[in-house]
Amino acid sequence: MKATTILAFLFLICAALPLYAADINDLTYDASGATVTITDCDTAASGALVIPETIEGKPVTSIGYDAFYDCSSLASIAVSEGNMAYSSEDGVLFNKAKTILIVCPGGKSGAYAIPESVTSIGDYAFSDCTSLASVTIPGSVTSTGYEAFWGCTSLTSITIPDGVTSIGQGAFATCTNLTSITIPSSVTSIGDYAFSDCTSLTSIAVSEGNIAYSSEDGVLFNKAKTILIVCPGGNSGAYEIPESVTSIGDYAFDYCTSLPSITIPGSVTSIGDYAFSDCTSLASVTIPGSVTSIGYSAFYGCRSLASVTVPDSVTSIGSSVFRGCSSLANITLPNSITSIGYSAFYGCRSLASVTVPDSVTSIGSSAFRGCSSLANITLPNSVTSIGNYAFRDCSSLTSITFGANSLNNLTELYRATERTEEAKKLERRAERIRAMKR
């Protein structure tokens, strides 16, 4: 069920609940069509809220996504007994048969035990229930939905029972006080970033009978330990990836903020999307020559990373790979690189110089944008495409060295370096060439 449908139903049937908006004057809505959609509320208001059946003579039919995102005072949801589709118990919203837990109100606190009739925990069901200290999941549950427990910042422990076969994408992300979790033997599917930004999580254990997953030193792998799936965010100190690993999965080390160094063995051939993003303490990493691909935003936000050598087994620097690596002062690019993706080095403000190898044919939009220490750059004749704003806000850029570039390349360089003194020089040179060709 879509979030808009849930919210539409939820707020149209609930009266006199402790929400922020006091009356219609505290609501933002869209009445441009035949029906009305509530889009926002004034968080400074207080009191009970009743969504009227009509506004400006038009029926209120829906509540926009995130319209009441900050209504953390909502402690109870009530459903009329005659409703054919929904029911409630202890202020929590379910489908009529109470087999699907749809929404636990954000203001619910303390411990909560899910009824044994429930077989599925819906998408966003406990999202941002910041006061829930514990949730008991019964053995009847087989799946947890998309971002089901996202942002439950008071949740310190949770037991996933045997019977659960799938854990949804982002299911426990940003549960910053969750310290440990055990994956039962029944789980066969775990979604991306399921435990991302769990900064207190130091161990993920897997039951021995699980046929899909395994763990070692509290780190989650596939059964054969060829794919590193999740390193818990609370891990600290240096970490050596086992030599059995051939692939570092998407989001594998995402928000591992206390890891100062990671050793990648020569067995690894691929690094996934966001694999090391926001590893803010990561000061050094050596990418071995076995690696052939580095995923989107792989090292995004690694603000302590000072130096990186990319091996010649890699053929492209993807989009946003080193974006926000504000301490990155040195980058070595091999002759195997043919392209530099958009925003690849955006915001690398310590990067003072870059030599682009003569194998590179394209530089993406905003590739070096905001590299405020970049004083010079050398572009080879092989470069035929430069994206917009590739060198924008490079306030120290005084020299761009290149070979026999075409007039078209000079024009692209002007766009790429807009707002710098070097840009003005390039445009004057382009004008002189235009005049010569007339």
Any idea what the CATH number is for the domain that residue 220 is in? 3.80.10.10
Give the percent of the chain with pLDDT over 90: 58
- Write the single-letter amino acid at 178: L
Distance CA(252)–CA(6), nearest Å, equals 32
Tell whether 244 and 294 lie within a shared domain: yes
Domain stop point among 272, 305, 338: 305
DSSP per-residue string spanning 197-246:
T-TT--EEEE-TT-SSEEEETTEEEETTS-EEEE--TT--S-EE--TT--
Tell whether 225 and 270 lie within a shared domain: yes
Q: What is the pLDDT of residue 18?
A: 39
Domain stop point among 30, 63, 96: 63
Q: What is the pLDDT of residue 407?
A: 40
Reported as a single tens digit per residue, the pLDDT across 141-184 is 999 999 999 999 999 989 999 999 999 999 999 999 999 999 99
- Strands in 362-363's sheet, in edge-to-edge order, are 316-317, 339-340, 362-363, 385-386
With respect to residue 182, please indicate whether it lies within any of the assigned structural domains: no
Distance CA(222)–CA(230), nearest Å, equals 10
Q: What is the pLDDT of residue 70?
A: 67
With respect to residue 141, please indicate whether it lies within any of the assigned structural domains: no
With respect to residue 109, please indicate whether it lies within any of the assigned structural domains: no
Name the range with the highest mean pLDDT among 91-100, 285-294, 395-404, 406-415: 285-294
Tell whether 211 and 287 lie within a shared domain: yes
Q: Is the pLDDT of residue 132 over 50?
A: yes
Distance CA(373)–CA(117), nearest Å, equals 61
Distance CA(270)–CA(267), nearest Å, equals 9
Reported as a single tens digit per residue, the pLDDT across 356-405 is 999 999 999 999 999 999 998 888 888 888 888 999 999 998 877 775 55
Q: What is the pLDDT of residue 5?
A: 41
pTM of the model: 0.81
Tell whether 272 and 350 lie within a shared domain: no
Q: What is the pLDDT of residue 295?
A: 96
Phi and psi at 170, nearest 5°, equal 65, 20
Domain stop point among 41, 63, 85: 63
Residue written as token pair 């590193």: 228
Q: What is the pLDDT of residue 421?
A: 54
Tell whether 299 and 343 lie within a shared domain: no
Q: What is the pLDDT of residue 64?
A: 53
Distance CA(130)–CA(150), nearest Å, equals 9
Q: What is the dihedral of CA 310, 312, 314, 320, to 10 degrees?
A: 30
Reported as a single tens digit per residue, the pLDDT across 369-383 is 999 999 988 888 888
- 27 versus 408: the higher-pLDDT residue is 27
Q: What is the pLDDT of residue 10?
A: 42
Q: Is the pLDDT of residue 7 over 50?
A: no
Tell whether 340 and 301 lie within a shared domain: no
22: confidence class by pLDDT, cuts 50, 70, 90: very low
Tell whether 281 and 358 lie within a shared domain: no
With respect to residue 364, please indicate whether it lies within any of the assigned structural domains: yes
With respect to residue 249, please indicate whether it lies within any of the assigned structural domains: yes
With respect to residue 73, please indicate whether it lies within any of the assigned structural domains: no
Nearest alpha-carbon partner for 297 in 314, 270, 275: 275
Tell whether 293 and 207 lie within a shared domain: yes
| Cα angle for residues 142, 134, 118 (degrees, 5° grid) | 30
Q: What is the pLDDT of residue 103?
A: 83
Reported as a single tens digit per residue, the pLDDT across 186-244 is 999 999 999 999 999 999 999 999 999 999 999 999 999 999 999 999 999 999 999 99
Give the percent of the chain with pLDDT over 70: 78
Tell whether 292 and 367 lie within a shared domain: no
69: confidence class by pLDDT, cuts 50, 70, 90: low
CB 103 within 8 A of CB 68: no
With respect to residue 148, please indicate whether it lies within any of the assigned structural domains: no
Q: What is the pLDDT of residue 26?
A: 64
Distance CA(346)–CA(229), nearest Å, equals 27
Tell whether 334 and 433 lie within a shared domain: yes
pLDDT (mean) for 84-103: 88
Q: Is the pLDDT of residue 51 over 60?
A: no
- 354 versus 97: the higher-pLDDT residue is 97
Distance CA(383)–CA(220), nearest Å, equals 42
- Write the single-letter amino acid at 50: V
429: confidence class by pLDDT, cuts 50, 70, 90: low
Tell whether 361 and 259 lie within a shared domain: no
Structural domain count, the chain: 3
Q: What is the pLDDT of residue 351?
A: 94
- Write the single-letter amino acid at 418: E
Q: What is the pLDDT of residue 328?
A: 96
Q: What is the pLDDT of residue 431?
A: 58
Phi and psi at 4, nearest 5°, equal -65, -40
Q: What is the pLDDT of residue 411?
A: 57
Q: Is the pLDDT of residue 267 over 80?
A: yes
CB 169 within 8 A of CB 147: yes
436: confidence class by pLDDT, cuts 50, 70, 90: low
- Write the single-letter amino acid at 327: S
Name the range with the highest mean pLDDT among 24-28, 37-41, 102-106, 131-135: 131-135
pLDDT (mean) for 345-352: 96
Q: Is the pLDDT of residue 435 over 90?
A: no
Q: What is the pLDDT of residue 17?
A: 39
**HEC assignment per residue over 111-130:** EEECCCCCCEECCCCCCCCC
For 265, which DSSP code?
Answer: P
Work out the mean pLDDT of the chain and round it to a whole number: 84
- Domain of residue 390: give its range: 326-438
Nearest alpha-carbon partner for 212 in 194, 179, 242, 187: 187
Q: What is the pLDDT of residue 381?
A: 85
With respect to residue 431, please indicate whether it lies within any of the assigned structural domains: yes
CA 399 → CA 13, 275, 374, distances in Å?
Answer: 65, 34, 9
Tell whether 284 and 223 lie within a shared domain: yes
CB 95 within 8 A of CB 86: yes
How many Cα atoms within 13 Å fall on the side-chain side of residue 332?
10
